Amino acid sequence: MHDDREIVEERLRRFVDQRLGAALYRDTAPAELSAWQVPGEPVPVAEALRQEFAPIAIGTRWGRPWGTMWLHVTGRVPERWLADLGDGVVVELVVDPGFTGGPGFNAEALAYRPDGTVVKAISPFNTYLPVDPHRPVDLYLELAANPDVARSFGFQPTPLGDLGTAGEDPIYQLRQVDFALRDRTVWELTQDIAALSGLMHALPFDLPRRHEILRALERMLDTVDPEDIAGTAAAGRKQLREVLSRPAYASAHNLVAVGHAHIDSAWLWPVRETVRKCARTFANVVALMDDHPDFRFACSSAQQLAWVRDGYPELFERIRDKVAAGQFIPVGGMWVEADTNMPGGEAMARQFVAGKRFFLDEFGVDTPEVWLPDSFGYSAALPQLVRLSGSRYFLTQKISWNKTNRMPHHTFRWEGIDGTQVFTHFPPVDKYNSDLSGHDLGHAQRNYREQGAGTVSLVPFGWGDGGGGPTREMLAAAERTRSLEGSPTVTLDSPANFFRRAEAEYPCPPVWSGELYLELHRGTYTSQARTKQGNRRSEHLLREAELWATTAAVRAGARYPYDELERLWHLVLLQQFHDILPGSSIAWVHRDAERNYAAVAAGLEEIIADAARALTGEGSATLTLNAGPLARDGVPALGIATADPDTRPTRITQRGKGFVLDNGLVRATINGDGLVTSLTDADTGREAIAPGAVGNLLQLHRDVPNQWDAWDIDEFYRRTVTDLRDADSVDRDGDAVVVRRSFGDSTIVQRLELAPGARALEISNEIDWHERQKLLKLAFPFDVHADRSAAETQFGHVFRPTHSNTSWDFAKFEICAQRWVHVGEPGYGVAVANDSTYGHDIARSARPDGGSTTTVRLSLLRAPLYPDPTSDQGTHTLRVSVRPGATIGDAVTEGYRINLPPRTITGGAPVEPLLRVSNPAVVVEAVKLAEDRSGDVVVRLYESTGARSTARIDLDLPHSGVDFVDLLERPVDAPTGVALDGDAITVTLRPFQVLTLRVHAASD
């Protein structure tokens, strides 16, 4: 046989592209249209329905960027159609508001009835609305003129990400609002062809099945008359029936297909638009469920459902019904799909508390799986938190984006820093928005790494980010591939059923220990410094507010501000979404975040002030509030007392053009360029700075990644660097040395200080930043032979190599740390802490003298141009401290010290803490009242040093007993090594173990 494969395939492509689509609708008829342009921000449907609508014609341009137009659609189906309705046709309303591309970055619309109830949405691949052909049509469409900020991801600066610069000219043209007579047989033929053609192209050339499909498609092309597709489509389907009916191989891979619509809670659109995207998508989903009872859809964000509950109550009740029916499935167990590198320990725990409580309260669902496909790497602390939240499974997808190494497993047990393991799946389809095409299904089958041990994987399908979610075409693809020779089998089911099935067939999968580091998007540890600073400050203010409000409730009977604290927690948790906190959103999003953080700070400061007044009473005593987990200046941890600070003065002496700072505990030498040439601690007397090197060295790099500007730092940035050694001035200012530098269009003022009694040199960096596509680093080369670094993560720390022995080591050229990093060798180490910086790089190098230098560099600021061309421009204050002669425990102390400064107030009397912990390795992370508002006190502690630690916890509050509880404050079995004796609890914690106590309120 002659090889005419390419000829047949090209013939098929042209038939589908130019003939078949045009034949889908037998006839169309225009609807009657009128419109109202919303003058400002979107309005509720009730307000829109009260407006005056004016006639509008097809072809009219509409919608300034981010604007809204309401379209009123009326009319009747043509009488001539009614006789054909029983002949395999259905009437629909087809809407094209002027789509310019694919789903998610385009115009979108939501249809309402005149009573304000929701129908469904319109998006580029989902353009129809149902119509009752026997009744007049009366619909209102809310059209959103969302601009395409992505612009095919060319990563060029754009003004569209800010309402003030996006412009006023309309960006869409109304193209079609027609009644349409859809031919069901032609539609079914289209789906047959899509399934078979996709499968054919996924199969290898040497497989007979590929050629059998090709010839069947060729026979179909011969049978269907391009001039009369409607009349010959049924005959064409018969030509495909045999190849469609062949069952799958017994050894075929099994795919569990779960409907999904990955909706970023903010990204290339503001949060307010995400609310509408959620309503549109969920309206589509529940409408699809009405027609397809076997369809299952997973929704992973409690915040998004809360938006729908509050803004679209009728739609939310429909969702509630579908949850009860098992079709709409809450998953994820988190408030949002959060970044997991930068949120602090308690904030990460509260993502689960808030998310799972919402699902329990609203739907009675306790989600067994954590669903987090798109976060930029996964903290090694997560497995323990997943299990402590009551979940047992974890799903991720983003690791498929790795640029250097391929993840060796798709189904595995993930082990966290404390040893906890969680059954984990990484779908081999390598995307979280599949359309169930033959390409996707074939890729999943070929890519699956557990061949021979497992047989099943999960495929999330549906258009995301406002694209409307799953479609009827995707469900048609699932139906045709339920059992189809050459294809993996496809079953519509729930995530929980998938996990149970996968775990049952693969009870002993391989173990991956430690973080799931994403070998991409490393710039997200640094971009948008104000957003990151707002997050860090909010986390610590929330700790203070809960601690003092709880203490005031117990000690003084004060009212505990449950509602306000919950509202503020939810606002902070929202900002931790994986495109907000990482700094990868448009300017609008980050301006909103900054305003939200300012509101959070104001609200929490008021709560703290009210609690402090209730606790200390009236008086003239100077009192210090210590919210930290360790005593400070004579004030007990978690208590209020008169401080007794170290009063020994810091000596500052001039040496040449530089200065020496010495407080008796640490000695720092600063040269005439403001660089640290020596740093020693009195306890060891050892020099921390490497011979011939200088610390406090600012370094400016060219920062132009290949793509994903705000997201990425590419390794080659290191090859272009300017050391900012020259100072404009180096002066003494009281007990500090002040260094001024200028570079490019920017300036920086550094204040180097050794406070009395401090064991760390603190450096405050006031930066007026006006660079573009630059990366500013702060370097400290230490005389330490460290083969690994320790970086704080949630409830502990993670070790990473300082060498590049393997490609896995090399890929970690930029790492994330929270409040501190530590480098050391046996007997000596140095801790570097920060108040809002997350990006670091740490490397070891050999010196000519035979020694080793371990250099710690903090990434202070970036200046990407996309998606926010004004990213980080302006003033910043970033604080860093360097503690020589430090253990890991000292690093933990320093991290809390720089982030939780004590408060000084005037009051009547000191206040004893509600509890004391005997071992500083066991850290109190949260003290709060119980979520159920019972008045019980909840205390969360963790082992912080990575060693097995025993501590005595002495309670100083009336109570009726103590329970050990999970994150949702439900009783769990007491851990081993626990002794309770009245008001004292003795616990032995394994490394990094998190423990939550519930102290029951005393009965009346």
Cite the active site residues: 374
The H or E element containing residue 334 is strand 328-334
Write the secondary structure of 10-39 as one string of H (helix), E (strand) and C (coil). Answer: HHHHHHHHHHHHHHCEEEEEECEEEEEECC
Give Cα 621 to chain centroid, integer Å: 45
Single out the residue of 26, 159, 151 nearest to residue 89, CA to CA: 26
Is residue 910 within 8 Å of 640, Cβ to Cβ?
Answer: yes
Q: What is the DSSP letter of 525?
A: G
- Phi, then psi, of 805 in degrees rounded to 5: -60, -40
Q: In the structure encoding, which two tokens stand for residue 817, read together?
A: 């740390």
The CA angle 527-531-534, to the nearest 5 degrees, is: 140
Q: How far is CA 915 from CA 235, 699, 937, 953, 1002, in A?
A: 80, 45, 11, 7, 16
Single out the residue of 786, 819, 802, 790 nearest to residue 946, CA to CA: 790
Q: In the structure encoding, which two tokens stand for residue 72, read together?
A: 């009123």
Is residue 677 within 8 Å of 689, Cβ to Cβ?
Answer: yes
Is residue 782 within 8 Å of 856, Cβ to Cβ?
Answer: yes
Single out the residue of 812, 899, 870 nearest to residue 527, CA to CA: 870
Single out the residue of 44, 19, 37, 24 nearest to residue 92, CA to CA: 24
What sign does the dihedral 703-708-714-719 (CA atoms) show? negative
Q: How far is CA 29 from CA 99, 113, 325, 574, 691, in A?
A: 20, 21, 38, 45, 83
- How is 224-252 classified by DSSP, letter by letter? S-TT-HHHHHHHHHHHHHHHHHSPPPTT-
Is residue 853 within 8 Å of 917, Cβ to Cβ?
Answer: no
Q: Nearest 10 degrees: CA dihedral of 824, 825, 826, 828? A: -50
Q: How far apart are CA 77 and CA 132, in angstroms?
A: 9
Cβ contacts of residue 285 below 8 Å, gap of 6+? 259, 261, 297, 322, 328, 469, 470
- Phi, then psi, of 210 in degrees rounded to 5: -60, -45
Give Cα 642 to chain centroid, integer Å: 42
What sign does the dihedral 547-551-554-556 (CA atoms) show? negative
Single out the residue of 745, 446, 705, 465 nearest to residue 585, CA to CA: 465
Q: How far apart are CA 571 and CA 564, in angstroms?
A: 11
